[in-house]
């Protein structure tokens, strides 16, 4: 009798183990599907294509005296999307859009005298990374070098101003120079800048003030931080002395963002203010940062993949048929009151949001390709 009972127990245990294994596999498949299966019209392929084509349809919006940073980061996003989607025709169009800057449109190349101008260098550097044509490196690399022509005594660039926007603007040009050349000096510059800003601006709740004298958790400002850290962690090797510091701050920020995401997937103009309006540029940046973290194993897939998916679907609901996102906060300097941020104009189709939407589409395609 005892032998039969033990045998029955072993059979039950075996069935239980098989059931658990099946459940784990099924759950893993479900979480992978968070980034692979989408409602009609909401896939990263469809949305990314629409937004990239929209970018190409309006060269140099606003007839600027020189190319402004929103165009630079959108161009970078479109190039990344073309690569991730293996769209050679789109990639070629984006490069041909750039080539007049060597000749007839050379007056539009910004002087690298400010973070908002210097970030332009990520575009020729990204084109070089993808095409290996030296003329793009010869244009982009001196821009990265000039940013550190006259560094401060603490080793930071003279362009340092302690605004959270800089945690993307400064670090990205140096990261792209590193990615293009493999020279660790560029990576070390970016990591030093990022670590210093983290020490100065990250608050106990994981979020960031716009500046030391602007104590508000502005959505897009925090978005620049999130995206900048995600991009940096993609390039920092495991043994880099600043990696652990940056990764810890990134995870702390992502955990905080989970608490403030709205049920519709959106984040707000002031992240912690329930009366603030849903804002698309910050939502796109946070979505990019979370997808990238899940893709690379820095964030728990079970917790963050569903949040990133909600963010993407929330953004899709704000995209009009022309490929323009609504509810984009206008360009914003630091403010001294809550009302200043709440009253900022809400734009449609502004590149501040179009750019990170392309980054997010690219990250989602990378994630799908890796599983």
pLDDT at residue 6, rounded to an integer? 54
Q: In whole angstroms, how large is the CA radius of gyration of the chain? A: 22
Predicted TM-score of the model (pTM)? 0.91
Residues 340-356 pLDDT 10s: 999 999 999 999 999 99
Domain membership flag for residue 174: yes
Structural domain contains residue 12: no
Q: Is residue 29 part of a domain?
A: no
| The predicted structure's pLDDT at residue 30 | 46
Residue 159's domain spans which residues?
A: 34-369
Residue 347 counted as domain residue: yes
Average pLDDT, the chain: 92
Tell me the average pLDDT across 245-252.
Answer: 98
Q: In this structure, what CATH number is given to the domain that contains residue 59? A: 1.50.10.10
Q: How far apart are the first and last CA of the chain?
A: 49
Q: Are 99 and 93 in contact (CB under 8 A)?
A: no
Cα→Cα distances 340→153, 193, 210, 216, Å: 35, 28, 13, 10
Residue 2 lies in a domain: no
Higher-pLDDT residue of 129 and 63 is 129
4 lies in a domain? Answer: no
| Pairing mode, strands 328-329 and 278-279 | unpaired
Question: 30: which residues sit within 8 A by CB, 6+ positions away?
Answer: none
What is the number of structural domains in the chain?
Answer: 1
pLDDT digits (tens, 9 = 90+) for 13-60: 444 444 434 443 443 344 446 898 999 999 999 999 999 999 999 889
Is 28 part of a structural domain of the chain? Answer: no
Q: Give pLDDT, residue 325.
A: 98
128 in any annotated domain: yes
Q: Dihedral (C-alpha) 323, 63, 74, 220: value to the nearest 10 degrees?
A: -90
pLDDT in tens, 293-327: 999 999 999 999 999 999 999 999 999 999 999 99
């Amino acid at each position: 009798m005892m032998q039969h009972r033990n045998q029955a127990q072993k059979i039950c245990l075996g069935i239980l183990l098989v059931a658990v294994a099946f459940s784990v596999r099924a759950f893993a498949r479900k979480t992978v599907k968070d980034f692979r299966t989408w409602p009609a019209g909401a896939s990263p392929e469809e949305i990314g294509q629409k937004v990239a084509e929209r970018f190409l349809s309006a060269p140099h919006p606003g007839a600027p005296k020189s190319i402004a940073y929103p165009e630079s980061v959108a161009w970078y996003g479109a190039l990344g999307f073309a690569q991730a989607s293996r769209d050679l025709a789109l990639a070629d169009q984006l490069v041909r859009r750039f080539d007049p800057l060597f000749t007839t449109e050379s007056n539009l190349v910004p002087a690298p005298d400010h973070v908002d101008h210097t970030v332009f260098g990520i575009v020729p550097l990204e084109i070089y990374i993808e095409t290996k044509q030296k003329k793009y490196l010869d244009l982009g690399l001196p821009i990265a070098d000039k940013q550190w022509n006259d560094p401060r005594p603490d080793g930071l660039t003279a362009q340092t101003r302690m605004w959270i926007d800089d945690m993307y603007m400064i670090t990205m040009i140096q990261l792209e120079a590193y990615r293009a050349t493999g020279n660790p000096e560029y990576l070390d510059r970016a990591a030093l800048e990022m670590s210093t800003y983290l020490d100065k601006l990250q608050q106990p709740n994981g979020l960031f003030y716009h500046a030391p004298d602007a104590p508000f958790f502005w959505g897009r400002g925090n978005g620049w931080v999130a995206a900048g850290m995600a991009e940096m962690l993609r390039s920092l090797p495991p043994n880099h002395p600043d990696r652990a510091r940056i990764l810890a701050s990134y995870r702390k920020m992502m955990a905080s963002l989970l608490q403030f995401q709205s049920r519709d997937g959106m984040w707000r103009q002031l992240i912690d203010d329930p009366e603030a309006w849903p804002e698309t540029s910050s939502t796109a940046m946070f979505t990019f940062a979370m997808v990238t973290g899940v893709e690379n194993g820095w964030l728990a897939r079970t917790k963050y993949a569903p949040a990133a998916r909600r963010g993407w679907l929330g953004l899709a609901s704000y995209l009009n048929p022309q490929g323009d996102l609504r509810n984009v906060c206008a360009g914003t300097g630091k403010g001294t009151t809550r009302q200043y941020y709440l009253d900022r104009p809400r734009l449609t189709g502004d590149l501040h949001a179009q750019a990170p939407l392309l980054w997010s589409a690219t990250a989602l395609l990378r994630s799908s390709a890796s599983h």
